[in-house]
Amino acid sequence: MNDHQEFDYIIIGAGSSGCVLANELSRDRNHQVLLLEAGPMDNKLLIHMPAGVYSVFKDPGINWNYHSEIETGMGHRHITLPRGKVLGGSSSINAMVYMRGHPRDYDYWAKHHHLPTWTYDQCLPYFKQCESSDRGPSDWRGTAGRLGVTQGKLSNPLFDAFIEAGKQSGQGVTDDPNGYNPEGLARLDATIKNGRRSSAAVAHLRPALSRANLTLCTHALVHRILSENHRATGIEFEHKKTRMHAVAAREVILCAGAVNSPQILMLSGIGPTEHLKQVGIEPKHHLPGVGQNLQDHLSVSVVYESTRPITFHHAGNPLYKLLVGSQWLLTRKGLVASNIWETGGLIRGDADVEYPNLQYHFAPVHTDYAGTRVQLYQGFTTQVDQLRPRSKGEITLRSADPAHRPAAHFNYLSDPFDLGELVQAVKRARELVSQPAFDAFRGKELAPGAHVRSNRDLENFVRSNASTDYHPSCTCRMGTDPMAVVDAKMKVHGMEGLRVIDGSVMPDIVSGNLNAPIQMIGLRGADFILGRNPLPPFQADFAFNHPA
């Protein structure tokens, strides 16, 4: 592309929402659309092999490889924070679990953040429009969308034991965690289609790349959004070591994620005035909420040895890798066509919570990392997330240099409530695995270990071992109060021609994985930008009582 070229829309970030918007906005051939991505094309074969997630999600060639600042509540550790730096963003390196969150999350947004257009009945039609689910059409599911969504079907006795233990423990089971009953253990959905990862790039962007009115520029590091008189006019970016500019006739749309979107706003002089001055940036628009309200899901893993060699530890054997890799290349089936985390679900830590506050992901293997190299062992892992943390952090700038990583202060476990829920999470996972369904498989408890019993010992275990489930969000939140960054249509407060449309606009993190909600947000954003009539709300029936 040429320097100072003009486009109608400039989209910063080819991640989960950016790919959706690039497709939607370029459908009208009269719209000239520029899509910028800091990373490369998604050409690595391992990206598209679902089981290849263990190799790609820490690959420095396609990953920002961020980490938190020292987290005092987590044993003074830096917590690793992989973020996709590749076409498709984090949807190209994540574990592909498709979860929408609980319907009550969105109704809470509407009620408590004064966002009446974000109730679940208004979001559900966009979830359905986005997906093509192999579960078949229903009030809750769509089958004609671009995003391939497949229910886990890999056979393993440990998956069956996990579901049966849900019944035996009273924690509950469900046929579809995104359907009528969002609570209980289930076979999870994954963003996989025909045995391949269905990333946002594959599902939404690639079908649009042949359009002459869509320009994709990879390896493009955005320096700042240009503005005049509180209106975004374009961007300044670096491409192949050359400083370039692009003009936006209509809008600049920031889709860089919960870490990079607030970073780019602040680099552009939009954010907390005093902080901008401290790092040598001229303030252009005081917006104190930029970078604030950072939220994430913390998780703990309860790990057991398996007494039977039925786990997926064989996948670490080079000969076995060759066998299953060849099977996938020829048939798109087998172990490589699975994301491994095929079962899980939403549960309550105790009877007093209004709706599920914990989430399971279960894998019939025990994994560990030596650097970026994965090691597999004969065991099984029950990972439990705390879904609605009270601890909140912030993204700040370390300097005015766009090449410097921003500082991520999560303040994990700064609210004592969160530590209590994660202790509760370990107890619930132990309760689950103690059920008769696991009797034939349950070996030694490897983590936390049978000796870790008291609440104090469990608290120490959580502080030393809990980690992110890679769901940073909420740093440019929607709302109407002075700390909100965007309005209900994701327009930046006090600016014209500028929106943020990604996971950073969530006012509160949802109770589940974030990729599906972010794509829904992207679809809704396209309607707002183009002035299209919204999809009609749909009031589906849901079971919100305790599981049977």
Strands, E assignment, 172-212: 184-187, 189-190, 192-193, 196-197
Helix H or strand E segment including 258: helix 257-267
Sign, CA torsion 246/252/256/258: positive
Q: Is 471 a catalytic residue?
A: yes
Q: How far apart, in whole angstroms, are the C-alpha atoms of residue 499 and residue 441?
A: 52
**Residue 499 in 3-state DSSP?**
strand
Q: How far apart, in whole angstroms, are the C-alpha atoms of residue 195 and residue 50?
A: 7
What residues contact residue 23 under an 8 Å CB cut-off, 6+ apart?
A: 146, 204, 205, 207, 208
What residues contact residue 153 under an 8 Å CB cut-off, 6+ apart?
A: 187, 342
Which two tokens mark 409?
A: 């202060």
Can you say whether residue 409 is alpha, beta or left, with left for phi > 0 and alpha for psi between -120 and 50 degrees? beta
Give, in order, the Cα–Cα distances in Å from 471 to each of 293, 343, 347, 386, 500.
13, 19, 19, 11, 17
The one catalytic residue in 114, 366, 471, 546 is: 471
Burial class (CB in 10 A: 0-12, 13-18, 19+), 353: middle
Active site residues: 471
